[in-house]
A and B are shown apart, each in its own frame.
Chain A
Amino acid sequence: MKKLIALLLVLVMAVSLVACAPAANNDNNKDDASAGKGTIAVIAKGETHAFWQAVKAGAEAAGKEAGYAVTFRGPTAESEEYVNSQREMVQTALNNPDTKAIVLATIGLGFTDELTSAFDKGLPVVEFDSGLYSGGADITEGKDPTIGSVATDNKKAGGVVAENFYAYLKANGKAVNGFKVGIIQHDSTATGIDRAAGFKEGIEAAAKADGVTLEINLQVKANNAGEYKLGLTALKDWGAQAIFMTNEGVVNEVFPEVSDNADTYKDILFCGFDAGTNQYDWIKDAGKTYALLVGSVAQDSYNIGYEAVKLAISKLDGKDVADVGIGGQWYTADNIDALKDQNIFYMG
């Protein structure tokens, strides 16, 4: 008898835990849903990072304008081990009767049934940021729910860096034959390749227009602790006079090295990609104590979120839609604070 009672006790505890958790959130749910026309579910590759928070802000703004509620969720980290939890988020969205469209970027495979289900339910799926993993291998033929994509055009953004950086070189009389420019590319995915290529092609073209030939050295590294630093050292030994860093991860590893050994790197000019605390501190230093970070391009995270939701809503409104490429935003010490206020630059 005693054990039965104990068992029932445990069950009651478990059931009440289960029961009270959703109860607390149901009200929440209703508030969101009362926004009117339904819900756009945004499922990103992350949630807490400043980048995603800016995307979220953009997404919510777009929803508000059109009278849709927007939910925003993402897994703990962008790694295949969290595919399960991301899939659950997609399932939640699919099973929510208020959901009208899904904005999605996946971190792994295994969404075949979910995408099919979205198609069967007639829910449009907008790919954003890097879109569906592995180029959409999860999509079943004939049951493709995707209607378009919204992403940073990395090549274009790399070109923006090149253009602005070359302008700086030229203004400072450094645009000369044999000027050595290094690139640290963060990995060999499309993102890294496009950014590096966009920069390389852009700066070469700009130089050529002036009849100048630059020397370019590309260092491709994997996303591992310490590797970017090795890239920096290699470029220093090669005699680089300027270095482009293709993402925030590279900056985060290079910045401490440059600031700790200020004299060694004093004469190199840097430019970067993405935003973040290190970028902010570095750019604000303006070359006073250590090497100068001339400027960077920030992904327009806010607009990625904004445009993605807008694309979904356009589709729901029955309009024709097309892929949207978002360019980057060049920032320097002069405009960084203004961009920060606009949520385009973020501290992460």
Chain B
Amino acid sequence: MSNKNPLLKKSAGSSSKQNIVIILAAIALFAIFYLINNNFASSGNVLNMTKSFVPYAILALGVTFVIATGGIDLSIGTVCIGSAVLAGAICRTGVSAEDGTLWLTIPIILVSGLVFGLLNGVLVAKCKLAPFIATLGTMLVSRGVTAVISEAIRETSSAVKYPPTGWFQKVFTNLNGFPIGLVWVLVLTIICAVVMYKTKVGRYILAIGSNEEAARLSGINVDKYKITAYAISGLFAGMAALFYVAANPSLNIASGNGMELDAVASVYIGGTSTTGGSASIIGTILGSMILVIIRNGLNLALSSGSVVSATNITYAVTGVIVVGAVMLDVLKKKSAAKVKIDSIPAKKEESKS
């Protein structure tokens, strides 16, 4: 009980078992896929995996804060892509690094993400809309607004293009063959863990997710911290866009369709409670890792002439895992509730007096 390190303490709680199982599962899957196709572990393929892993992981990190409040953010996918489309249009980027002002896209993408996040926060906290509805609205609005602005600026609906090679890739995806995105994810994971477990923002967000009314009556400015959670989610959606664009330099508004669901799935797989109150940052990362391993592994495992689509099998597998993970959450709560009703008197006797 003298474990004073709260980062360890949090992950050593009820979610630790889940984390261990996820890690074991990841290793097992890695081994299976490696046996099926030795190229799975090749450096080229690891680079491929990180390219698709990084944007999802960052989206998932951000939305973990919203889910911790007991909410949901469905808009992150379209905010991510919409911000990239918007910035590309404003800065007039093109396939050549000399086209437009590439560096300027970074602040524009981040600000755009943050603005949509704040919009979600205000709709949920101040206007008291259900998070599902508010963020569904923002999902459609962000998609529509960014596309319209981009079309108006560029006078075409064709794809926005960023340079496919250059410093953007060196910074975000591939630094001379090194998957630099992983370093970013590591840094962001540490930041998120510190914010979630070691700062007031995280503590209050978890308190709100645990019991919003109790938090409010404890003198917490619930609205402010809810808005903060959605703002974090939006800002991370913007960050994810940088990595997405570096890996997919031509994109239209429909790109990355359904990203938000994969990100949310990662969070649930990672053991963050669907009703809020407890969150596992490490679990979120592990959850997105599992999804990417499965997706990429299946793709390699299938022969290239296969009639079966790896994407569709991935859907099915992801579905099973998400339902399983959430079922665990429910079981956990159920067994806890049982303990509370029936076995407390005896426990009380045993406890120190």
Contact = CB atoms under 8 A, between A and B. Distances in A.
Interface of A: 2-4, 6-11, 13-15, 17-19, 21-22, 24-26, 28-29, 32, 39, 41, 69-73, 79-81, 83-85, 87-89, 91-97, 99, 108-113, 117, 133-134, 137-138, 140, 222
DSSP majority for the B interface?
A: helix
Contacts of A71: 303-305
Contacts of B96: 137
Contact of A10 (B37, B249, B324): B324
Given A96-B39, A117-B44, 5 more contacts: A81-B256, A83-B251, A94-B39, A110-B247, A222-B157
Nearest to B173: A113
A137 B303 CA distance: 28
Interface residues of B, number: 68
Contacts of A24: 308
Contact of A41 (B18, B157, B304, B320): B304
Contact of A6 (B44, B298, B321, B328): B328
A4 B248 contact: no
Given A14-B324, A15-B29, A97-B39, A109 B299 contact: no
10 contacts: A15-B25, A17-B313, A17-B316, A18-B294, A24-B308, A73-B305, A80-B251, A80-B252, A95-B300, A117-B44
B130 to A, nearest CB: 29
A2 B249 CA distance: 47
B250 to A, nearest CB: 4
B310 interface: yes
B321 to A, nearest CB: 5
Contacts of B331: 2-3, 6
A13 B324 CA distance: 10
Interface string B322-342: 011101100110010000000
B123 interface: no
Interface stretch (B1-9, B61-69, B159-167): B159-167
Which label, helix, strand, loop or mixed, suits the secondary structure of the A interface?
Answer: helix
A83 B248 contact: yes
B18 A7 contact: yes
Contacts of A28: 303, 305-306
Contacts of B165: 112, 138, 140
A18 B297 contact: yes
Contacts of B304: 39, 41, 71, 73, 89, 92-93, 96, 99
A15 B335 contact: no
- Ranked nearest first, the 5 interchain pairs of A and B with the lowest CB-CB distance are A10-B324, A22-B301, A29-B303, A71-B305, A95-B39
Nearest to B21: A7
B11 interface: no
A26 B303 contact: yes
Nearest to B32: A19
A268 B323 CA distance: 61
Contact of B45 (A70, A85, A95, A133): A95
Contacts of A88: 296, 299, 310
Given A117-B44, A134-B95, A81 B32 contact: no
Contacts of A94: 39, 44
